[in-house]
Chains A and B, each alone.
Chain A
């Protein structure tokens, strides 16, 4: 707790630096990552990140130690080189893009590890801090590093905001963009360049192995919350920033711990929350929606069952015990209770105590049940008449469609079929015009028609 207060009191100027650096990095990688995943270039980002390692090592060798400018130059050159190589392979050979991405990633990274080992074994070069570039070490950034890496992040962010409109069009519809004269190739190159730059900016704090996830995860999490590209960029930037803060804090409290994994884990945690909790698209929301739909279907099926029982014996005044309903519709008794209480609440059925006790359709309930039976039979008629589907094959489909047919579609069906009297099984299709039973259903044998829905 004390360290937490100490950290966030921002007394230590070094903490302020490191925090500023990682937050900037998180924001720019999150925002730019949105374009990477929407253009399906996320894996390319991963390959570029890994391919940077030989550049980092060469920068150490040439500068004889750690020098931020040399590092950026080396990383940038090799990032670009890997991208050009991937592009070249997929354009000039029959190798599929995923294979060329995998190849470039492993070959460049392998080369990097060779150089890394070389530096570590020769001992001529000041190798302190070199390991940090594999998994990141935010706290090892000193003033100069933060200026350079943070400055780079800021630059990327500014460019992304400036050309947001153009990036949006090129990402969504490149052929239209080209048709109105946009320099699409150059825009795509700019995006690639920005991606290499943001990966370069992240090598110190996140490291080459995990940097791609700072592009991918915040953007993927953000997609859950919004359908607007602008908002998606803002959320992804926020997720990136939070991950940056987490990384810095860990780096500060446990200096031996690499920061990259912590930043990624904290971004992944936010992704997981989004995956579960996001309204509409999250798993919980979807589960609730599914439950609601299946409850609605169950309610409608029970209404239909009550109606067909009336159709069968022609009696609207006979109590229908829950047990009997369960025999016809295989519902667990707990679900049946829920369904019946919903129907009671909606006023579709009434409950009467008797021997045995049971349920009766109300006028409203009968009207709704009739509607269901009607759209079911209309749909069957439509399938057999317009799609020439055999009579014994139409029931199953109608059984699910009846819950989805809106009043507009029903009207269209009736116009197109001319409100037929019978369905393909020769059962009467019930229309509302002959509907005049009083509530409680005391009048007797209006329903002489046989058949089941």
Chain B
């Protein structure tokens, strides 16, 4: 697999930001979905990735984690290449990405968060179970730890995924739509947890769909629509102009051109 190349490896000192992504470009089937993304995030920040449907929000998180091939770009964690630091990054995939009829219990799922701390062939021990139970408790899911995962509601499934990330005991959290389709109670619990993580010095990045709830719950945001429109403190970048650029129609011409060039190239290729 074509992982993100990690050429630059500056000498890691404490001033390195927890998460840097540079020159990230991703294309599916010749169609660019992310163009030249570049950002750095400070420690103890809570960032929302915001943008319209198809803006590449999930793609950004996946490509930054090296889960899908990128045309270019690399990720640094505390100044070091991602592959050496993966245990410090907890990724929360979209809830729909797994089969919730899979025959495992809530506890089994959360214990997977301990796998980065286990060696090959090593089974989770009592300590790991304690950590997993504590993580479930933090998400208000402790009473459900023996349940089979198909018996959970959507919001409960999401809490279990978050508990797994907590059990991983990471420094950086990348979450893909953790608030999509959850009930109001779960939303409160998750927002609360996100703030606690930030206040505990963790770096949290959340793909988010609801523009309205950003100012109240996040301190930073990335406005994304194929390219990075703006990245910084919510109070500075949530301007009408930026939002218009992100959600407005102006990018239509760009997307049209991308589609046009793709079609052209496809025709040319099939002719040759």
Q: Kindly identify which residue among A162, A169, A173, A228 contacts B105, using a CB–CB cutoff of 8 Å.
A: A228
A226 at interface (Cβ–Cβ under 8 A)?
A: yes
Q: Kindly identify which residue among A163, A166, A175, A226 contacts B67, using a CB–CB cutoff of 8 Å.
A: A175
Residue contact A168 to B83, C-beta cutoff 8 Å = no
A353 at interface (Cβ–Cβ under 8 A)?
A: no
Residue contact B102 to A180, C-beta cutoff 8 Å = no
Residue contact B67 to A173, C-beta cutoff 8 Å = no
Q: What residues on A are CB-neighbors of B253 within 8 Å?
A: none
Beyond A163-B121, A165-B123, A173-B93, is A227–B148 a contact (Cβ under 8 Å)? yes
Task: Give the shortest distance, in Å, between A450 (CB) and chain B (any CB).
Answer: 38
CA separation between A190 and B178, bound complex, in Å? Answer: 32
Residue contact A227 to B105, C-beta cutoff 8 Å = yes
The secondary-structure label for the interface of chain A is: helix
CA separation between A226 and B66, bound complex, in Å? Answer: 35
Task: Give the shortest distance, in Å, between B117 (CB) and chain A (any CB).
Answer: 10
Residue contact A168 to B104, C-beta cutoff 8 Å = yes
Task: Give the shortest distance, in Å, between A261 (CB) and chain B (any CB).
Answer: 29
CA separation between A172 and B115, bound complex, in Å? Answer: 14
B65 at interface (Cβ–Cβ under 8 A)?
A: yes
Residue contact B103 to A226, C-beta cutoff 8 Å = yes
Residue on A with the closest CB to B100? A172
Task: Give the shortest distance, in Å, between A386 (CB) and chain B (any CB).
Answer: 14
Q: What residues on B are CB-neighbors of A229 within 8 Å?
A: 102-104, 108
A339 at interface (Cβ–Cβ under 8 A)?
A: no
Beyond A163-B121, A173-B98, A227-B148, is A181–B104 a contact (Cβ under 8 Å)? no
Binary A-proximity of B82-104 (CB < 8 A = 1, otherwise 0): 01001101010100011100111
Beyond A38-B103, A165-B115, A228-B104, is A180–B86 a contact (Cβ under 8 Å)? yes
Q: What residues on B are CB-neighbors of A179 within 8 Å?
A: 65, 67, 86, 89, 91, 93
A185 at interface (Cβ–Cβ under 8 A)?
A: yes
Residue on B with the closest CB to A163? B121
Q: What residues on B are CB-neighbors of A163 within 8 Å?
A: 120-121
A242 at interface (Cβ–Cβ under 8 A)?
A: no
Q: What residues on B are CB-neighbors of A226 within 8 Å?
A: 103
CA separation between A247 and B1, bound complex, in Å? Answer: 44
A-B contact pairs, 6 of them (CB 8 A): A165-B118, A169-B115, A179-B91, A180-B168, A182-B115, A229-B108
Q: Apart from A173-B93, A179-B93, A181-B87, what 18 extra A-B contacts exist at CB < 8 Å?
A: A38-B103, A162-B121, A165-B115, A165-B122, A165-B123, A172-B112, A176-B93, A176-B164, A179-B91, A180-B116, A180-B168, A185-B1, A227-B104, A227-B148, A228-B104, A229-B102, A229-B103, A232-B103
Give residues in A with beta carbon < 8 Å to B.
Answer: 38, 162-163, 165-166, 168-169, 171-173, 175-176, 178-182, 185, 223, 226-229, 232
